A and B are shown apart, each in its own frame.
Chain A
Amino acid sequence: MQTRRETLKHSAVVAGLLASTGLFPQFAHAAFNKAAFDAKSVQDVLKAIGPGALAESKDVTITGPDIAENGAVVPLGATTTLPNVKQLLILVEKNPSVLVAMFHMTDSIDATVSTRAKMGQSSDVYAVAITADGKALFAKKEVKVTLGGCGG
Chain B
Amino acid sequence: MADPMRIRAQASGDKATVRVLMSHEMESGQRKDANGKIVPAWFIQEVTALHNEKTVMTAEWGPAVAKNPFLQFSVKGAKAGDKITILWKDNKGDSRKDEATVT
A residues lining the B interface (CB < 8 Å): 20, 22, 28-29, 31-33, 36-37, 72-75, 77, 92, 95-97, 99-110, 112-120, 149-152
B85 at interface, CB cutoff 8 A: no
Main secondary structure of the interface of B (DSSP, over half): strand
CA A100 – CA B44 in complex, angstroms?
Answer: 11
Count chain B CB atoms within 10 A of each CB in A29, A73, A109, A119 and give the residue with the most.
Answer: A109
Distance of A78 from chain B, by nearest CB (Å): 10
Interface residues on B, range: 35 or more
CA A8 – CA B45 in complex, angstroms?
Answer: 33
Known: A110-B73, A116-B70. A99 touches B54 (CB 8 A): no
CA A85 – CA B74 in complex, angstroms?
Answer: 15
Known: A28-B93, A108-B77, A113-B72. A92 touches B55 (CB 8 A): no
**Residues of B contacting A31 in the complex (Cβ-Cβ under 8 angstroms):** 46, 58, 60
Known: A100-B62, A151-B31. A110 touches B74 (CB 8 A): yes
Known: A29-B46, A97-B64, A105-B57. A114 touches B28 (CB 8 A): no
**Residues of B contacting A102 in the complex (Cβ-Cβ under 8 angstroms):** 59-61
CA A33 – CA B59 in complex, angstroms?
Answer: 11
B residues lining the A interface (CB < 8 Å): 15, 26, 28, 30-32, 45-46, 49, 51, 54-67, 69-77, 91, 93
A106 pairs with B60, CB closer than 8 A: no
Among B26, B59, B62, point to the contact of A37 (Cβ < 8 A). Answer: B62
**Residues of A contacting B69 in the complex (Cβ-Cβ under 8 angstroms):** 115-116
Among B45, B62, B91, point to the contact of A97 (Cβ < 8 A). Answer: B62
Known: A109-B74, A116-B70. A33 touches B57 (CB 8 A): no
**Residues of A contacting B91 in the complex (Cβ-Cβ under 8 angstroms):** 29
